[in-house]
A and B are shown apart, each in its own frame.
Chain A
Amino acid sequence: MLTLENITYKKRGQTLLSQINGEINRGDCVTLFGPNGAGKSTLIKIMAGLVKPSKGKRSIQPEHKNPIGYVPQQTALFKGLTVRDQIKYYQKLTKPKSNEFIDDMILSLGLSQILNKRIEQLSGGMKRKVNLAVGMVHQPELLLLDEAFVGVDLAAKHDMLTWLRKLNNQGTTIVFITHDWYVIQHLQPTMWVLDHGVMIDQVEWDSVPYLNLNRQSQALQKMFDVNMGSVR
């Protein structure tokens, strides 16, 4: 569904991504994992088509119009509008195939009670849920989540992850960035491990303990050590 061929991205003379290759198929669940500055956000923006790579090729084979759902790191929501208005606005723009999907999403994410509340009146966790919901209004084939779970309490996180798992099982492709091992355990993705703009490896999440990280940065090693503790 999405192919990256020798993706290199340079900004102000600095190489942020170097020779990234990868293929994501329909129904895959992939996480971009690595320390800060590894190039994860830049790579997900290249996948979304928001940033053009300096070299290499990104190609996507969609089945429908508007195949991408993008959930940015910040809560990209309109201040002053209610949750219902936010969802309606994106509905109007994208003209989704079924309203049933939206009703199901609202129910699964527990948004029914807050539909008439303005964004400023919501807690951080609720905002994150709405942020996720508006990114999926048009029922995208490929969902790109850039640290969408930051600052979300466990209950809200559970709702979000259960919904994402359900979507993934139904064939939606998910690519996400997170530092949260709980999220990784729940979604059980393929991990694209990045460090300093270089792809270290692509492994299944449960194969991580066997990764050879001897030549990688201390930051990446520490990330694995802290997250997996005694496993490694």
Chain B
Amino acid sequence: MIFKILLQQKWTLILLISAPILFIIIGYQFIDRTTDDIKVPVALVDPYEQNITEQLLSDMSTDESFNITHATSIPEEVLERGEVEAIFVLPEDLEGKIRAGELEGTIQWYRHERSVFDGLFKEQLASAIMTRAIRSEAANLVQRYQSDADWNEIYEYGLRYLEPEPIFQIQFESVQQQISQVNHDSEDWLLFRWLFWIFIWSILAFLTQLLLNWKEQNIFERLSTIGHANSLRKAWFFTFLVLLAILTVFTSVGIQTLWLSSYNWMTVAIDVGIVIFSLLIYYLLSFVIQKRETLWTIALTYGVSASVVFFLIQYNLLSFNWWFSIFLPSWILV
């Protein structure tokens, strides 16, 4: 019967069913965005729209460590706001300068005091230009001694003998992986479990309203006269116990798999435990609370207090005490 009534609460039902899907989609987007964030954002500005810029970008495209914005102009505020780590501005007739070997001070490199990894891009860019400069130098040398040789042909094949290496190389990929792993373990994963608890806590407040409505309508009184005072309350409790436990298992396993590529049953058990205790709190409250306003005040006060305690412990502003266990989200940090 509870299911039949629940079927009429369309929005609650939609939210309940869509919760795991929603959390996994949000989680996936979050991970995707995080991956973008750890790419070094740089801007390559070519005010003269030269062909060589495209070639340079193509040479560097194999390195996915950079998020390169290619433009003909870019405001310096972008750099100040930290949207890019550095701006590299190419000079006019870059190709001519490369062929002539006039490379000193040709590229302007704008950076911020907070810029860290832009030096790596500078090396990549320098390497791409130097490759061309050396091939050009090789072609110039050959043509000096063999005037009938085709400059373009020598330039094309010059790298067979003179491939330069970047000045220094770093295992950028492994640094990225390390950052990503630490981030997910310590913050994002816990944050998402807290977020899921907030969702369940709010949904339960809605579902508890059913009990308050039945109380207000004297349904419990009527049931009491036929010796079934608590049967409806128990049906409510066990129906949502099963429903929410299944929902939590799916969500917990889904998010763990997404974040950590595997799942731990102990973590799933803790998540299910938190949800069951939340349900129990509302179940017990339904005996003493008469008004919806009181229910929402308690739900809001506890939800906010528990979240504050969770974040204070999470960011080491509060050391964990056993009595913090009364705030359910703190169990996530165990």
Contacts and interface: CB of A to CB of B under 8 A. Distances in A.
B4 interface: yes
**Chain B contact residues, majority secondary structure:** helix
A163 B29 CA distance: 64
Interface in A136-169: 138, 144
B226 A49 contact: no
Nearest to B223: A93
B63 interface: no
B266 interface: no
A72 B221 contact: yes
A147 B302 CA distance: 40
Interface stretch (A1-9, A14-22, A73-81): A73-81
B145 to A, nearest CB: 95
Contact of A76 (B1, B9, B218): B218
Given A85-B1, A89-B1, A80 B226 contact: no
B225 interface: yes
Contacts of A89: 1
Contact of B224 (A50, A77, A144): A50
Contacts of B231: 93
Given A50-B221, A76-B221, A93-B231, A81 B226 contact: no
B291 interface: no
B225 A79 contact: no
A69 interface: yes
Contact of A79 (B213, B221, B226, B227): B213
Nearest to A80: B8
A65 B221 CA distance: 17
B62 to A, nearest CB: 61
B4 A76 contact: no
A77 B225 contact: no
Contact of A66 (B7, B8, B213, B226): B226
Contacts of B227: 65-66
Interface in B199-227: 213-214, 216-219, 221-227
A90 B226 contact: yes
B218 A73 contact: yes
Given A76-B217, A80-B9, A70 B225 contact: yes
Max count, chain A CB within 10 A of own CB: residue among B1, B4, B218, B231: B218
Max count, chain A CB within 10 A of own CB: residue among B223, B226, B227: B226
Interface string B225-237: 1111001000000
A3 to B, nearest CB: 18
A80 B221 contact: no
A34 interface: no
Nearest to B216: A74
A68 B7 CA distance: 31
A138 B7 contact: no
A134 B1 CA distance: 15
A94 B1 contact: no
A85 B219 contact: no
Given A66-B227, A75-B217, A93-B228, A81 B4 contact: yes
A171 B213 CA distance: 35
A48 interface: yes
Q: Interface size bucket, A side?
A: 20 to 34
Nearest to B7: A80
Nearest to A118: B8
B14 interface: no
B288 interface: no
Interface string A83-96: 00100011001100
B219 A78 contact: yes
A73 B221 CA distance: 11
Interface string A176-214: 000000000000000000000000000000000000000
A60 B220 CA distance: 21
B221 A70 contact: yes
Interface in B224-259: 224-228, 231
Given A76-B219, A93-B231, A68 B8 contact: no
B182 interface: no
A53 interface: no
Max count, chain A CB within 10 A of own CB: residue among B7, B216, B225, B226: B225
A81 B228 CA distance: 19
Contacts of B219: 76-78
B5 A80 contact: yes
A70 B226 CA distance: 9
15 contacts: A50-B224, A65-B227, A69-B226, A70-B221, A70-B225, A72-B221, A75-B217, A76-B217, A76-B222, A81-B4, A81-B8, A85-B4, A89-B1, A93-B226, A93-B228
Interface of A: 45, 48-50, 65-66, 68-81, 85, 89-90, 93-94, 118, 134-135, 138, 144
Given A69-B225, A70-B225, A85-B1, 16 more contacts: A45-B221, A50-B224, A50-B225, A66-B227, A72-B218, A76-B222, A78-B5, A79-B5, A79-B8, A80-B8, A81-B4, A81-B5, A81-B8, A93-B231, A118-B8, A144-B225
Interface of B: 1, 4-5, 7-9, 213-214, 216-219, 221-228, 231
CB-CB nearest 4 A-B residue pairs:
A80-B8, A72-B218, A70-B225, A76-B218
